Amino acid sequence: MIVEFIGRLHPLLVHMPIGIFILVFVVHFFLKDKFESHYLVMQVLLVLACISGILSALCGWLLLKTGGFAEADVNTHKWSGIVMVIFSICLLFAHKVQSNPTKSKLVFNILFLITMMMVLSSAYLGAQLTYGDGFLWGNTDEEKISSADLQVDKSSTNKPKDESDFLPEIKKADSLLIDQLIKKGFTIKPIYSGSGFLQVSAINTPRISDVELQGISSLSENILWLDLRDTKISDKGLSVIGGCKNMKKLDLHHTQITGVSAEVIGKLSSLEYLNLTGTLMDDAGLQTLNGLTKLKHLYCWNTAITKEAATNFESKHPGLKIQLGYPDSPIPVDLKQTEKSK
């Protein structure tokens, strides 16, 4: 889908305003008296910064629609980016309108410093979303699990505030089983230091299929988050997750599942987040998920789920937010072909 493709350009475009503002800083503070066309160069750079900032923010908003991000974290990043764009536009006009050189210079410098702070803040928050908390200081928890990570640490202070206080203690998973899954391409890490609950991800490993997923069943009680986005997982392979009774987050966007998998997904009674974007899920499958009473976020963009079915489902689940994307989103090509074959 073209809109989703545009959203995925955000990581590429987001670096443009950062680079341009660094160039503006150099030109304004160090090269101001070096060449006559300084004013024109600054105007061009500021215009480019505004355009790239607006395009980056737009693509980021479209990317957000596909799901896969923690709402609180992404909202902070989103609004810092919007504020940065607003200050960029103000900065452009402050540079263009220079009726009083002394006052204009002071206003411009103040606006420029605030804008740079917003640029750096937005960039840092974006890095946290991508690489994890503490990325800048090398204190992320992104390393794959080793046997040392599986030791009980009840004194850990790294427990997330929104999860840890409600998670019971659970037996640590077998490190040999974890190592086997890591060799197959999965990334596995504890939800927080010392926890027996795991986050399992196949991100950036699109080759993972039903065969590789079979080993997941051995970690069924430990898996809290499972990310299978953009993989070759189908209905047949997904059947192994039915025993993951503690799972709270499941990302299946752009996999090959259909409404058939709804029966398995419906067994995940603890599920709070479900992403079905770009799959062949349909209205019948959605109705099968009625038993997921704890569901808070459901992404159905570019599926065969209709607005009527989604509205009806949402009305039966207080507190649930369903993201359908845009009105009249097309049915996936694969589903159209399936219907023709019938």
Name the β-bridge partners of 295: none
Instruction: Give the pLDDT confidence score for residue 240 in this predicted structure.
Output: 93
The closest of 88, 75, 74 to 119, measured between CA atoms, is 88
Instruction: Identify how many contiguous H helices and E strands the chain contains and give both numbers.
Output: 13, 7
Instruction: Give the pLDDT confidence score for residue 334 in this predicted structure.
Output: 45
Instruction: Give the pLDDT confidence score for residue 170 in this predicted structure.
Output: 86
Q: How confident is the model at residue 138 (pLDDT cuts 50, 70, 90)?
A: low
pLDDT digits (tens, 9 = 90+) for 292-306: 999 999 999 889 999
pLDDT digits (tens, 9 = 90+) for 221-254: 999 999 999 999 999 999 999 999 999 999 998 9
Rounded to the nearest integer, the mean pLDDT of the chain is 81
Instruction: Give the pLDDT confidence score for residue 29 in this predicted structure.
Output: 85
The closest of 256, 283, 282, 262 to 274, measured between CA atoms, is 262
Residues 20, 51: Cα–Cα separation, whole Å: 11
Residues 129, 76: Cα–Cα separation, whole Å: 10
pLDDT digits (tens, 9 = 90+) for 271-297: 999 999 999 999 999 999 999 999 999
Instruction: Give the pLDDT confidence score for residue 305 in this predicted structure.
Output: 94
Q: Among 68-72, 151-155, 329-333, which range has the highest average pLDDT? A: 68-72
pLDDT digits (tens, 9 = 90+) for 81-111: 999 999 999 999 888 876 556 667 888 888 8
pLDDT digits (tens, 9 = 90+) for 121-130: 888 888 777 6
pLDDT at 165 exceeding the cut of 50 = no
Residues 142, 117: Cα–Cα separation, whole Å: 27
The closest of 128, 56, 136 to 88, measured between CA atoms, is 56
Q: How confident is the model at residue 137 (pLDDT cuts 50, 70, 90)?
A: low
pTM above 0.85, yes or no: no
pLDDT at 4 exceeding the cut of 80 = no
**Regarding beta strands 198-201 and 187-190, do their DSSP bridges make them parallel or antiparallel, or are they unpaired?**
antiparallel
pLDDT at 8 exceeding the cut of 80 = no
Q: Among 48-52, 99-103, 166-170, which range has the highest average pLDDT? A: 48-52
pLDDT at 64 exceeding the cut of 90 = no
pLDDT at 145 exceeding the cut of 50 = no
Quick check: helix, strand or coil at residue 44? helix
pLDDT digits (tens, 9 = 90+) for 308-340: 999 999 999 999 999 886 544 444 444 444 444
Question: How many angstroms separate the Cα of 265 from the Cα of each of 134, 179, 241?
Answer: 33, 26, 8
pLDDT digits (tens, 9 = 90+) for 170-216: 889 999 999 999 999 999 999 887 889 999 999 878 889 999 999 89
